[in-house]
Structure 1
């Protein structure tokens, strides 16, 4: 159980939620927002959301374009606002998990600290690119996206490294499943990032028809694989609960 500073024998639980439901709901907030924004953009703002700087044919909006119109931007902001708060809790939960596993291994403990910083940076970058759309302040939005991608890749890289160490000692069947999914999703995410960068550069250099569509599709895969990576918390904390509790009378201020 994800516990507070007081023992469960003395706390008064106000709210309990299985971590499996918590993890799935958190990711599906972002997924639902993304799918909704893309579909609305395609149905109602196709010309605006798929326009390119060199006016070549394009059939899919980039994520930035799909969340920059109205009402898409507001749907996305509500979903990510609700999605981000639990992400901070999950980041701290993972840090405490690693701290318990690597209490006497300084290298891995330091990596755990860097991993926490990457997780927080990823979430902050996501919030920045969400609440500053590309048609409001493009440079700030772009920087938020860069922070998000860089921190996400750093977080996934370090996470896979830490779990590679953990599996040398003991892994439950659930943790083994989680590690395998983490590893393959990380490789898929990196591959998708490389394809997205390649198609983006190709589009900017040559403006060939349809290339920006391939970039947008690759970008979708980057974000979807990132979401899937985070949902592996389903196995890592499958027996845990998120609990809100009141402290005992003698601990209140």
Structure 2
């Protein structure tokens, strides 16, 4: 039996449907938002579990000053079961996220058919962000600090590049937006700016902690890290508006139904 993947109503050319049975149908909003919810749930679990059961281990600092929140690296990679929960959530969300990236590539090529290079680089940044997230997840800071640090730096570079290139693509078409598209663009723009500002503030807090080791500064750094993560997830969650009337369908051609 042969299968055909198809997403209804994407603004790209598709082969005509010749008939056949529908084996699977899912609203693309459910698929895209469910993909984002995997790391969201995993992250919240890791932070809460660390605070309740591994507070001393995950909030310890190199200079011994009081700290009240675990950093992301400590929460997701320092202790178990947090490490396994986070790896599981990131692992199962990665393949569907690549499908969402392909859907966005087709979507943007439909909006800007004369700018294929810009759309491709946007897709590339999205994929590389996902790959770097996988790398920094499965190579924790306690196992190999150097690789983890490089993976995180690349993740933030590709993440911010993807966000602002996405905003740029949307800005070119905003005069023709529907109300839902205007809302999506508005939130994308706000979240991209918010993500950049909180990331810069987190770097400042990290520098001050390492230089002066003042009590509570690392807590501020950790909280800003959380805001960076949540705003990144919220940016990807805007797929709810972008694919509101789309469906992911698995079809079996009519001639194969006898098999």
TM-score interval, smaller chain: over 0.9
Counting matched residue pairs gives 246
Q: Which of these residues, 142, 146, 163, is aligned with residue 156 of structure 1?
A: 163
Q: CA separation in 2, counterparts of 1:27 and 1:33?
A: 10
Match of 2:26 in 1: 17
Q: CA separation in 2, counterparts of 1:153 and 1:11?
A: 42
**Matched residue SS, 1:59:** coil
**Matched residue SS, 1:2:** strand
Match of 1:221 in 2: 227
**Matched residue SS, 2:7:** coil
Shift of the 212–11 alpha-carbon distance from structure 1 to 2, 3 Å rule, reads farther
Q: Which of these residues, 43, 46, 67, is aligned with residue 55 of structure 2?
A: 46
- Is 2:249 aligned against 1:235? no
Runs of 5+ unmatched residues, structure 2: 1-5
Deviation for aligned residue 1:27: 1.3
Q: CA separation in 2, counterparts of 1:11 and 1:226?
A: 39
Match of 2:147 in 1: 140
Match of 1:87 in 2: 97
Match of 2:191 in 1: 185
CA contact (8 A) 2:125 2:159 kept: yes
Deviation for aligned residue 1:187: 1.1
Q: How does 1:66-105 map to 2 (within 5 A)?
A: 66-68=75-77, 69-104=79-114
Runs of 5+ unmatched residues, structure 1: none
Deviation for aligned residue 1:248: 5.3
Match of 1:2 in 2: 7
- Is 2:211 aligned against 1:205? yes
Deviation for aligned residue 1:244: 2.0
TM-score by length of structure 1 reads 0.93
- Select the structure with the greater relative contact order (CA < 8 A; seq sep ≥ 6): 2
CA contact (8 A) 2:18 2:253 kept: no
**Matched residue SS, 1:116:** helix
Q: Deviations over 1:115-157 (max 9, x none)?
A: 1110001000110111111111111111111111111100000
Q: CA separation in 2, counterparts of 1:133 and 1:247?
A: 46
RMSD: 1.6
CA contact (8 A) 1:6 1:247 kept: no
Q: CA separation in 1, counterparts of 2:156 and 2:89?
A: 19
CA contact (8 A) 1:40 1:72 kept: yes
Q: CA separation in 2, counterparts of 1:8 and 1:43?
A: 54
CA contact (8 A) 1:80 1:127 kept: yes
Q: Which of these residues, 125, 128, 131, is aligned with residue 118 of structure 1?
A: 125
Deviation for aligned residue 1:13: 2.2
CA contact (8 A) 2:36 2:236 kept: yes
CA contact (8 A) 2:20 2:255 kept: no
Q: CA separation in 2, counterparts of 1:181 and 1:210?
A: 31
